[in-house]
């Protein structure tokens, strides 16, 4: 192999490493470690639900669980949502979903990793298909909370329907 080919190969490899480094620097890592799940909650719905508004998060009926963190302890939540989904609209638009925890004061916190409307639960293609979302909370102190799933139609979406969905919440001891 000639010296020029070796130098060019090394330059390409280095540029790939730099590209990965730049991409990783823009990502926000989050993690949580638990020892055991102290409680599990399950809910689901076999009937369809349609997101009615564009640009506003809507609570998905029955995809909501009330939990209690015992006095003198902390817990975190591991929540999973699965559903059949139909997302119809303009190419390049998408349907978004998120899982949040609401404390007794009414403060809503999106579970991690926080993606906001950037989480693309589904995109327009006209077919009904299965999708999933799993998130976890930061450490929660003693008190009562509501964990719920919310959905959002991005501008350009004419229809977002969720059907046959299941919502599972685990209360995990650190």
Interval 61-102: pLDDT, tens: 899 999 999 999 999 999 999 999 999 999 999 999 999 999
At 32 the pLDDT is 61
Interval 26-51: pLDDT, tens: 556 666 665 677 889 999 999 999 99
Question: What is the pLDDT of the chain when averaged over all its residues?
Answer: 83
What six digits make up the tokens of 153? Answer: 């139609």
pTM above 0.95, yes or no: no
Interval 144-170: pLDDT, tens: 999 999 999 999 999 999 999 999 999
Residue 142 has pLDDT above 70, yes or no: yes
CA 15 to chain centre: 32
At 11 the pLDDT is 37
Measured at the CA of 62, the angle between CA 144 and CA 160, to 5 degrees, comes to 125
At 29 the pLDDT is 66
In this structure, what DSSP letter does residue 114 have? P
Q: How many CA atoms lie within 13 A of 74 on its CB side?
A: 11
Spatial distance between the Cα atoms of 77 and 54, rounded to a whole number of angstroms: 28
Going by pLDDT thresholds of 50, 70 and 90, the confidence category of residue 21 is very low
């Amino acid at each position: 192999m000639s010296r020029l080919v070796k130098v060019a190969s090394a330059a390409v490899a280095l540029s790939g490493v730099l590209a990965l480094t730049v991409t990783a620097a823009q990502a926000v890592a989050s993690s949580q470690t638990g020892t055991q799940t102290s409680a599990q909650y399950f809910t689901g719905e076999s009937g369809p639900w349609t997101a009615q508004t564009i640009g506003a998060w809507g609570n998905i009926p029955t995809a909501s669980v009330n939990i209690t963190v015992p006095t003198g302890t902390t817990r975190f939540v591991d929540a999973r949502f699965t559903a059949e989904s139909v997302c119809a609209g303009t190419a390049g638009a998408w349907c978004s979903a998120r899982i949040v925890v609401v404390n007794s004061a009414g403060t809503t916190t999106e579970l991690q990793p926080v993606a906001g409307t950037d989480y693309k639960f589904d995109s327009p293609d006209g077919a009904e298909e299965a999708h999933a979302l799993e998130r976890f909370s930061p450490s929660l102190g003693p008190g009562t909370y509501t964990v719920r799933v919310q959905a959002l139609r991005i501008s350009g979406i004419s229809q977002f329907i969720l059907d046959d969905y299941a919502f599972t919440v685990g209360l995990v001891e650190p």
